């Protein structure tokens, strides 16, 4: 695989990352087994835990940001965080703009700070640990700023964690292919 193809993958990951933001905003207001009036649509995660449906896309976004950085470099990863926070703030309902934008910016920045030093020691491990840090920060900051409460924290964390866990086998395949082809991270 050439560097050109690696960059194309990076731009694809970037586009998917950016798409996660409007997708999360759409899901949280339109898709769920129960939609709370003037609140989020909820989905069951099991064990009696309900979660706002938009958190699924935020879990995916955490992993995609890592892949953007891996293919396009640290600055592209940082730019994706800034762009994502701006888009998140722009798309969120007015009452949630500060909470959504701030949570996204802080969680993705924390994800990047953890991922950067760990990625050369293992893509899957780095993505898992950085996403874990990011999803907890995102959940706590968003709930605190948006609602002044940490109610539904377990659903927020579990929903994002499920998506990260589903992505790990795909990351392992990507890492294996990269190793076979002698590719290095950006």
Residue 75 in tokens: 């600055």
The H or E element containing residue 34 is: strand 34-35
For residue 92, the model assigns a pLDDT of 73
d(CA 134, CA 127): 10
Give residue 2's pLDDT band: very low, low, confident or very high (50, 70, 90). Answer: low
Q: What percent of the chain has pLDDT over 70?
A: 98
User: pLDDT value at position 9?
Assistant: 93
Q: Residue 1: its pLDDT value, please?
A: 46
Report the candidate in 164, 116, 120 with the shortest Cα–Cα distance to residue 138.
Answer: 164
pLDDT in tens, 43-80: 999 889 999 898 899 899 989 999 999 899 888 888 88
Please count the CA atoms within 13 angstroms of the CA of 139 that sit on its side-chain side: 24
The yes or no reply on domain 3-181 and CATH 1.20.120 is: no
Spatial contact of 85 and 105, defined as CB atoms under 8 Å apart: yes
Q: Quick check: 132 and 110 in contact, CB under 8 A? A: no
Q: What is the pLDDT of residue 135?
A: 94
Quick one: which H or E segment has residue 37?
none
Tokens (6 digits) for 109: 């920045």
pLDDT for position 143: 87
Continuous H helices in 31-122 = 55-72, 74-91, 97-118
How many Cβ atoms are within 10 Å of 136's Cβ, its own excluded? 17
pLDDT of 105:
87
52 strand-pairing partners: 42
pLDDT band at 186 (very low <50, low <70, confident <90, very high): low
Give the position of tokens 């879990």. 59
Average pLDDT over residues 16-45: 87
Q: What is the pLDDT of residues 93-143, one digit of tens each?
A: 776 778 888 888 899 899 989 999 998 888 999 999 999 999 999 999 988
The vertex-174 CA angle with 69 and 24, nearest 5°, equals 60
Q: Which residue has the tokens 């731009």?
A: 11
Query: For residue range 132-176, what is the model confidence (pLDDT) as tens digits?
Result: 999 999 999 988 988 888 888 999 999 999 999 999 999 999 989
CA 68/CA 75 separation, integer angstroms: 10
Using CA atoms, how far residue 44 sits from 28, 65, 145, 162, in Å, is 13, 26, 24, 12
């Amino acid at each position: 695989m050439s560097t050109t193809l690696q960059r194309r993958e990076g731009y694809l990951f970037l586009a998917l990352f950016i798409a996660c933001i409007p997708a999360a905003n759409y899901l949280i207001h339109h898709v769920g087994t129960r939609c709370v009036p003037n609140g989020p649509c909820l989905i069951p995660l099991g064990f009696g835990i309900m979660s706002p449906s938009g958190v699924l896309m935020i879990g995916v976004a955490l992993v995609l940001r890592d892949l953007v950085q891996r293919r396009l470099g640290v600055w592209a990863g940082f730019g994706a965080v800034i762009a994502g926070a701006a888009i998140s703030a722009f798309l969120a309902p007015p009452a949630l703009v500060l909470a959504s934008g701030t949570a996204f910016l802080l969680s993705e920045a924390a994800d990047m700070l953890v991922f950067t030093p760990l990625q050369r020691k293992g893509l899957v491990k780095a993505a898992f640990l950085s996403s874990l840090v990011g999803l907890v920060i995102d959940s706590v900051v968003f709930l605190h700023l948006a609602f002044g409460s940490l109610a539904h924290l377990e659903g927020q964390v579990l929903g994002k964690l499920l998506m990260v866990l589903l992505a790990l086998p795909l990351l392992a395949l990507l890492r294996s292919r990269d190793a076979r082809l002698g590719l290095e991270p950006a």
